[in-house]
A = this chain, B = another copy of it.
Amino acid sequence: MKQDKIRVAVFGYGNIGKAVEEAVSVTNDMTLAGIFHHQEMESLLAAQPDIVLLGVPSREVPQAAQQLLEKGLNTVDSFDIHTRIPEVHRCLNEAALAHKAVSILSAGWDPGSDSVVRALMQALMPQGITYTDFGPGRSMGHTVAAKHIEGVKDALSMTIPLGTGIHRRMVYVEIEKGCSYNDVRDAILKDDYFAHDETHVIEVDNVKALNNVAHGVHLSRNGVSGKTHNQRIEMTMSIDNPALTGQIMVAAARAAMRMAQRQQFGCYTMIELAPVDLLEGNKEEWIQRLV
């Protein structure tokens, strides 16, 4: 007997929503129950999906996920405000348990698959330091902060890894007519987003011409296994940012459905998921191929 496909709804249709749509379209075990814009919560509920993948901005995720869980719908998000994750985890866990649903929180690449790699590094070498070096790639948060500076018409903030978790900010700005580059530069350098890092502000004619969704990360740990020092491990990625995020959310949706089927209701981050649950198809075949 062939199992029914997982009916996936996409809520929010920006970069991430589009990437989720693409990632669902190349699976064999999922089908789209619909794509819903922000204000279309009612139509979403009417579509009765098995699971909702949230493509709304991070700050709106906790409320949207809570609302969906309270309707008994499973959710996946790529919530990326690191400092708020423990609190959101607790809230969504309560809602998920109360309504017998599964919620996967922060299923992107960082937080997300990088978190899994950090957990694995920690398990292999419990004593030591893990460094996460981002980039080169666009920082959404810093780009938005730069765009808000007076006199900035458009901006792009690139994150450049300098090693040991230290980053350089390369900020490309288009200046509003009649405004001064020097004023803009000084305001950016004083902004809390930039004041703590080496920051370079560069005036350009056309920020759009620089746009590129590529990103990267390098995770490294030199640690101790048992009593043996100098155990070294590193991981490097160079990726299309939204494509990877969409793919991870789709993989997490599969894991969520499996958790729900086993009645393991609640909210989970990716370090709480068995990696094999992320994969399409038969567990036994993956054990044969991957272990």
Residues of A near any B CB (own CB < 8 A): 19, 22-23, 25-26, 82, 85-86, 89, 106, 109, 111, 113, 115-120, 122-127, 225-228, 230-240, 243-244, 246-248, 250-251, 269-276, 278-280, 283-284, 286-288, 290-291
Question: Could you tell me if B233 and A237 are in contact, using CB atoms closer than 8 angstroms?
Answer: yes
Closest B-chain residue to A214, C-beta based?
Answer: B230
Kindly identify which residue among B122, B278, B291 contacts A279, using a CB–CB cutoff of 8 Å.
B122
| A286 surroundings in chain B (CB, below 8 A) | 119, 122, 271
What are 10 inter-chain pairs, A to B, with CB distance below 8 A? Answer: A25-B226, A85-B291, A106-B291, A119-B286, A122-B279, A123-B279, A124-B247, A232-B238, A234-B237, A235-B235
Closest B-chain residue to A246, C-beta based?
Answer: B226
Question: Could you tell me if B271 and A276 are in contact, using CB atoms closer than 8 angstroms?
Answer: yes
Kindly identify which residue among B127, B227, B290 contacts A122, using a CB–CB cutoff of 8 Å.
B290
| A126 surroundings in chain B (CB, below 8 A) | 26, 247, 279-280
| A127 surroundings in chain B (CB, below 8 A) | 26
Question: Could you tell me if A239 and B251 are in contact, using CB atoms closer than 8 angstroms?
Answer: no
State A271–B279 Cα separation when bound (angstroms): 11
Question: Could you tell me if B290 and A225 are in contact, using CB atoms closer than 8 angstroms?
Answer: no
> Closest approach, in angstroms, between the C-beta of A114 and any C-beta of chain B?
9
| Main SS at interface, chain A | helix
Question: Could you tell me if A243 and B272 are in contact, using CB atoms closer than 8 angstroms?
Answer: no
Question: Could you tell me if A240 and B227 are in contact, using CB atoms closer than 8 angstroms?
Answer: no
| A272 surroundings in chain B (CB, below 8 A) | 274, 276, 283, 287
CB-CB nearest 7 A-B residue pairs: A228-B243, A225-B247, A123-B278, A22-B226, A23-B226, A119-B275, A271-B276
Closest B-chain residue to A235, C-beta based?
Answer: B235
| A122 surroundings in chain B (CB, below 8 A) | 279, 286, 290
State A82–B233 Cα separation when bound (angstroms): 23
- 16 extra interchain contacts, Cβ-Cβ under 8 A, other than A26-B126, A115-B291, A118-B290? A19-B226, A25-B226, A26-B127, A85-B287, A85-B291, A116-B275, A124-B251, A225-B244, A228-B243, A228-B244, A232-B239, A234-B235, A234-B236, A235-B236, A272-B276, A275-B275
